[in-house]
C-alpha cells in the first residue's frame, strides 16, 4: 500500500509529466525555483507584523515551495523520509534540550 508521501509524489509527477515539463526540472532549475518561490513566500510578510498575512496566498506559496522541493528530491533520487529523519537526528545532537530549550542561538553559540 502506498504511503501518503508516495501518493503526493505521484500526483506531482503525473501533473508535471502530462504537461511535458520534466525537461525543465533539472536540479539547478528546481533549486532556483525553490528560492524564487520562497522569496514570494517571504514577500507576504514584508513590512508587516508576523501575524498579518493572507492565509490563501500563504498556502499557495508554501505549496509551491514544497512541490519544487519534492521534485528536487525526486530528480536527485533522495528519499525524503530518510533525509528528514537524518537531519532531525543531526539536529538532536547539535541542539541538546538542556542547552537549546527556549533559545534561538545557533548550535555553535550554545
Whichever domain contains 70, its CATH number is 1.10.287.1080
| Segment 55-76, tens digit of pLDDT | 999 999 999 999 999 999 999 9
Q: How many Cβ atoms sit within 10 Å of the Cβ of residue 106?
A: 10
Q: How many domains does the chain have?
A: 1
Domain enclosing residue 59, as ranges: 4-78
Q: What pLDDT shows up at residue 24?
A: 97
Question: H-type helices in the chain, by residue range?
Answer: 4-18, 27-43, 55-75, 80-94, 97-100
Say if 40 falls within a structural domain.
yes
Long-range contacts of 21-26, Cβ-Cβ distance < 8 Å, separation of 24 or more = 25/71, 25/75, 26/75
Q: What pLDDT shows up at residue 1?
A: 67
Angle, CA of 99, 88 and 27, to the nearest 5°: 135
Amino acid at each position: 500500500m502506498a504511503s501518503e508521501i508516495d501518493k503526493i509524489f505521484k500526483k506531482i509527477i503525473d501533473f508535471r509529466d502530462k504537461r511535458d515539463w520534466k525537461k525543465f526540472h533539472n536540479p539547478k532549475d528546481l533549486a532556483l525555483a525553490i528560492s524564487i518561490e520562497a522569496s514570494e513566500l517571504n514577500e507576504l510578510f514584508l513590512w508587516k507584523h508576523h501575524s498579518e498575512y493572507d492565509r490563501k496566498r500563504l498556502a499557495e506559496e508554501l505549496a509551491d515551495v514544497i512541490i519544487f522541493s519534492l521534485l528536487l528530491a525526486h530528480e536527485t533520487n533522495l528519499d525524503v523520509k530518510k533525509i528528514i529523519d537524518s537531519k532531525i537526528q543531526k539536529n538532536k545532537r547539535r541542539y541538546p534540550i538542556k542547552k537549546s530549550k527556549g533559545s534561538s542561538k545557533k548550535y555553535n553559540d550554545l
